[in-house]
Structure 1
Amino acid sequence: MTLDAAGTNVTARAGQNGRAPHCDHLDRLSAVRRGPPACEECLALGWAWTRLVVCLTCGWVACSDESPGCHARAHYQETDHPVVTALESEPTWRWCYVHERTV
């Protein structure tokens, strides 16, 4: 058995071949129409963003956690919409805020 820093059995929660367990939030997603390719909050504040992500629940586009505003995380905290994907590049990359990991 392998334990993490919190003493949780990581072997029991790991998926096949050491992959992360399935995220059930992905099963609840449907196709969404994404918003304009900009973080509206950053634009209003005159800030620049590092990376944009799209909410896969409603299509809202906002800056990622690498950006000063972290507006995508704020959107999750306000709406409970759990999964985002990168607006540009890496189209298969998705992040689940609930599980705090890529899915």
Structure 2
Amino acid sequence: MVCTHRDMIKITDVEPVSKGCEECLKSGDTWVHLRICLACGHVGCCDQSKNKHATKHFKETGHPVIQSFQPGEDWKYCYIDRQYLE
């Protein structure tokens, strides 16, 4: 299966909107790992974090492709196709 949402990637040079999960920073909460939206640069926490803000961002905006925002990682994932992009 091939991801059919690559055309929704607007950011090629990822410029984060914040240095951590935007919502967790505002509420004073913590996260496990960070993900960045490749459509708008939103930084959210992963599904292992209690708030799951990256997934919530996808559900609210429809932006399907995220990238790991962890140092040394560059994998991408499509929520709609439920697969990693190469």
TM-score band w.r.t. shorter chain:
0.7 to 0.9
Report the RMSD for the aligned CA atoms in angstroms: 1.4
Please identify the structure whose Cα radius of gyration is greater: 1
- Greater share of residues in helix: 1
Give, in angstroms, the shift of residue 100 of structure 1.
Answer: 2.0
Give, in angstroms, the shift of residue 63 of structure 1.
Answer: 0.5
Q: Higher mean Cα deviation, 73-82 or 36-45?
A: 36-45
Unmatched 5+ stretches in structure 2:
none
Highest RCO, 1 vs 2 (Cα 8 Å, sep ≥ 6): 2
Calculate the TM-score normalised by the size of structure 1: 0.71
Give, in angstroms, the shift of residue 95 of structure 1.
Answer: 1.2
- 8 Å CA contact 1:55, 1:83 repeated in 2: yes
- 8 Å CA contact 1:41, 1:71 repeated in 2: yes
Identity of counterpart residues, as a percentage? 39
Calculate the TM-score normalised by the size of structure 2: 0.84
Residues 24-75 of structure 1 deviation map (CA, whole Å, 9 limit, x = unaligned): 1113323253212111211233221000110000011111111111001110
Q: 1:99 to 1:39 in 2, by over 3 A?
A: same
Match of residue 90, structure 1, among 57, 73, 76:
73
- Greater share of residues in strand: 2
Partner Cα separation in structure 1 for residue 18 and residue 26 of structure 2: 14
Partner Cα separation in structure 1 for residue 68 and residue 15 of structure 2: 14
